[in-house]
Chain A
Amino acid sequence: MSSPLRILNDRGIALYRDYLDALRGGRECEPPLELLTDPWCSARLPLEIPVEARDFPNKLALGKYLNEALRLLPHAQVERQVGLWSWLTLFYSDQVCPVSRYGRRAPGPHYRYILDLDFRRFNRHLLLGPYYACKLHGESAALLLYGPVHQTNQFFIELTSRQALFTNRGVIEAAAILYYDPKTGRAKRGAGTNDKPGTLRRFIDVVQQLDLTHDLFSMRGGDVVALLPGEFDPWKERAKAQKSFLRKLFKK
Chain B
Amino acid sequence: MIRRFNFTGRRKIPRSRLSIFHYATPDGVPAFDAALDLASLALPPESKIFIEAYRRNYLRRFACGTVAQPRWPRGQTLDGLDALSFVLFRVKVVDGRGRILAAADRILPRRSEEEEAGKRYLLPVEFADLGNVIWRLDLEGEWPSLLLNSRIDPIREIARADESFRALVYPEVVRQILHHIVIVEDHTDPDTDPDDWMSLWLRFALSLMGRKALPPSGGDDQVVLDKGRWIDDAVDAFCASQHVVERFVQHHQADD
Contact = CB atoms under 8 A, between A and B. Distances in A.
A167 interface: yes
B99 A215 contact: yes
Nearest to B90: A164
Given A76-B80, A120-B140, A223-B98, A215 B56 contact: no
B57 interface: yes
A250 interface: no
B100 A214 contact: yes
Interface in B119-150: 128-129, 140-141
Interface string B66-92: 000000000000011100000000001
A5 B101 CA distance: 48
B81 to A, nearest CB: 8
B56 to A, nearest CB: 4
B80 A163 contact: no
Contact of A163 (B8, B59, B94): B59
B92 A215 contact: yes
Contacts of A167: 57, 59
B128 A117 contact: yes
Contacts of B50: 215, 217-218
Interface residues of A, number: 22
A117 B92 CA distance: 29
A215 B61 CA distance: 12
Contact of B94 (A212, A215, A223): A215
B26 interface: no
Contacts of B100: 212-215
Contacts of A75: 80
B57 A219 contact: no
Complex A-B, nearest 8 residue pairs according to Cβ-Cβ distance, in ascending order: A76-B80, A119-B56, A215-B94, A167-B59, A213-B8, A163-B57, A215-B98, A214-B98
14 contacts: A76-B79, A117-B128, A119-B140, A122-B57, A212-B8, A213-B9, A213-B99, A214-B99, A215-B50, A215-B99, A215-B100, A217-B52, A217-B61, A218-B98
